[in-house]
Chain A
Amino acid sequence: MIPIQHFLLLGALLFSLGVYGVLSRRNVVLILMSVELMLQGVNINLVAFAVYLSPQEFRGLIFALFVITVAAAEVGLALAIALRLFRNRATANVDEVDTLRW
């Protein structure tokens, strides 16, 4: 049997990788992909908790399901925004979108 820590550590790893991706990538679409990675890590955690700690009430599963749903919606919307951004600014480089500075 696989101890729960294995799953949790993997989830933490994916999450941290996603954070690194969000912080260091310049391309909008790549940042979005990193966010998806973070969400994967979260889902693993949720499911692991549900399965190992409270198998009678599987809230974690339900939660993970909704996470997937909302994440899908979010991706669609975020890509639409990225398209808009690209059209208006002719760039997908996040560093160049800084008109809201002081």
Chain B
Amino acid sequence: MVGMEHAWVLPALPFGAFVVLLLVGRYLPRRGDFLAVGAMVAAAVLFSLMLADLVQALGEEGFQGVASGIDWLKFDTFQVRLGFFFDNLAAVMLAVVTYVGSLIFIYSTGYMQGDPRYGWFFAAMSLFAASMMTLVLADNLLLLYGAWEAVGFCSYLLIGFWHERRSAAEAAKKAFITTRIGDVGFLIGIVLLWREAGTFDLREIFRLASAGGYSSEYLTLAVLMLFAGAVGKSAQFPLHVWLPDAMEGPTPVSALIHAATMVVAGVYLVARTMPLFEAADPVALQVVTAIGLATVMLSATVALVVRDVKRVIAYSTINSLGLMMVALGSRSVTAAMFYLFVHGFFKALLFLSAGNVLHATDRGTVDELGGLRAKMPLTALAFGVGTLAMAGLFPLSGFWAKDEILVAAREGQGVAVSVVLWVSVALTALYMARLYILTFLGKPRDPHAYEHAHEAPPAMLAPVLLLALGAVVTGFWAFDQVGEALALPGGVGKFVYLHEPHPFEISVGEAAGSSALVVACLLVAGLVWSGEARPAQLMAQRLHPLYQLLWNKYYIDDLYQWVVNRIVLATGAMVAWFDRVVVNDTGVDGSAGLAALWGWIMRQVQTGKMPNYALAIAGGAVVIGAVVLVTRM
């Protein structure tokens, strides 16, 4: 019987698929894609069994989770342990990774068909899945960091999958370097925590923190350093710049890595280490909230003018990630994880259905699309569901999750935060509706693309429809009755929480208010963008400076490029000069030259003439004789 103590099996399955695919994949039928898909599906099934196990164990008093794993290296204060911890929080993440992941893998068999590196795609995706699961299950910061880097590496591989395209290669580099900047902070934070605790184990560190083992400033610094890693990985301002570029990768990659799982790793990290954030100075969570808000507003405004379909969805992901961070800043792990859970479904849905469009029309920007509803009705329906879920329309999943966050913000933070979130709600409805209208409604802008458009094949359509179903129903998990019907202790509030489980209560204010706002904005979007979208064009012309600002993404990318050019590369040039001139020419070549020069000088002694040598001998003998004489006297 497979229980929670065998949690290591979950990452082991896709890892095994990776190894096999890497070594012998090209000799297998269909390049072995069935291995990758099979591994994911098996992981999903096993996870379900472990979940049942978990649910049973929750009845026991004081149950926290099940630990497993082996010690790998052990020195005095330095232990590396491949340790896993299966608890409620991990279960929520694993549900997203395995269920949504399996659907995306199946989708990929259709989407990536015919690609020359088909096998490598599945190998890299499997490695990613294994790393992601390890990250979620890790019970110590070192293993978590290792898995963190591994998922970043897989992201690099997969963004740059079509590396013959310059833009893809650049985007992969950008993603890796940007997240790396955050990871430096992350590592510093880990080391700071380890220094005082003597161990990397999370629960030990939590224990130490709550017992006051860290000084307040020290802990706050460490926690903010950890958050730096989350800022990078979860595309928060100011390290958000890599995510829109990451859309250069294949759509399944965008769906799995840059929507459902990897980018939410930062949210997961903060959620996991919330006990530390609470024990630290309140300014830490204020920073989290502030950055989350900045991210929310930045992404929501830019998304209004972006013309690439996938990039709009990317900005919506950044928006969602910001919301989750604000939820965490408001100390509501429940709200953040609930949103994370449902977001996995509807964001993957949006990406995959966008993938259908891309695959069918071979076009990516709204300038070339339009009116596709007629040609791809099911995809249009699914995309529509995703749009509404993202916007947060009742009774879709996004509505329930978004409202939880609004409530948490109202209760835990000030008015200003709530105002910003409500503005975001409005903007989200606007830009999502805009995307849908410009892509599926109205008249086709590129007749050639429209001609070729067709509905997606079953391998691609089925996962999309299943995800659409998920986007509809997963929200109901908020209700305690639904939870109990699933043999869980209750709704999401009773499954994932920080201190105590809390039962679900509908907050009428949020529910009614947000619904009204969303509906209103959807209608406004319809007015502005449908048909010829003349109101939109007028606004763009009248408010041209504002439009320019948004079009250039607040010039942040330009700023970073300037820094790289002027500062980083200039410093590099200086260092290179130093290495070339001082170290190499002077130091290495110079000392060699010096030795050669000395050698040349010394060999002038070898004249080859006997009289010279005889003179030297005689002279030497005289000197020695004189010395002896003097000393003997």
Instruction: Judge A-B direct contact (beta carbons within 8 Å).
Output: yes
Residues of A in contact with B (beta carbons under 8 Å apart): 19, 22-24, 26, 94-95, 97-102
Q: What's the interface size class on B, roughly?
A: 10 to 19
Return the 3 tightest CB-CB contacts between A and B, nearest first.
A101-B608, A98-B608, A102-B603
**B615 at interface (Cβ–Cβ under 8 A)?**
yes
Quick one: which of A99, A100, A102 has the most chain B CB within 10 A?
A: A102
- Report if A95-B614 is in contact (Cβ < 8 Å); known contacts: A102-B603, A102-B604: no
Mark contacts of B614-626 with chain A using CB atoms, 8 A cut-off: 1 yes-contact digit, 0 otherwise.
Answer: 1100100000000
Residues of B within 8 A of A97 (CB): 608-610
Determine the chain B residues whose CB is within 8 A of the CB of A23 once the complex forms: 611, 614-615, 618
B77 within 8 A of A: no
B606 touches A19 (CB 8 A): no
In the bound complex, how far is the Cα of B615 from the Cα of A23, in angstroms? 6
- Shortest Cβ distance from B606 into A: residue: A102
**How far is A102 from B607 in the complex, measured between Cα atoms in Å?**
7
Taking the nearest CB of chain A, how far is it from the CB of B626, in angstroms? 14
| A98 in complex: contacting residue of B603, B609, B614, B618, CB < 8 Å | B609
**For B611, what are the chain A residues with a Cβ–Cβ distance below 8 Å?**
22-24, 26, 94-95
The interface of chain B, by Cβ under 8 A from chain A, is 603-604, 606-611, 614-615, 618
With A19-B618, A23-B615, A23-B618 as contacts: A94 and B610 at CB distance below 8 Å: yes
A19, A24, A99: the one contacting B608 at CB < 8 Å is: A99
> Across the two chains, which residue of chain B brings its CB closest to A100?
B608
A22 close to B609 (CB less than 8 A): no
- Give A3 to B509 CA distance when docked, in angstroms: 137
A100–B605 alpha-carbon span in the complex (Å): 12
Contact across chains for B607 and A101 when beta carbons are under 8 A apart: yes
A-B contacts, 11 of them at CB < 8 A, read A22-B611, A22-B614, A23-B614, A24-B611, A95-B609, A95-B611, A100-B606, A101-B606, A101-B607, A101-B609, A102-B606
Name the residue on A nearest B619 (C-beta).
A23
Task: Output the least CB separation between B350 and chain A (Å).
Answer: 81
* Chain B residue at smallest Cβ distance from A95: B609
Q: Which residues of B contact A19 (CB under 8 A)?
A: 618
**Hey, which chain A residues are within 8 Å of B610, CB to CB?**
94, 97
Selected contact of B607 from candidates A22, A26, A98, CB within 8 Å: A98
**Nearest CB of chain A from residue B606's CB, rounded to whole Å:** 4
Q: Given contacts A97-B608, A102-B603, list 17 more A-B pairs with CB under 8 A.
A: A22-B611, A22-B618, A23-B614, A23-B615, A23-B618, A94-B611, A95-B611, A97-B609, A97-B610, A98-B607, A98-B608, A99-B608, A100-B608, A101-B607, A102-B604, A102-B606, A102-B608
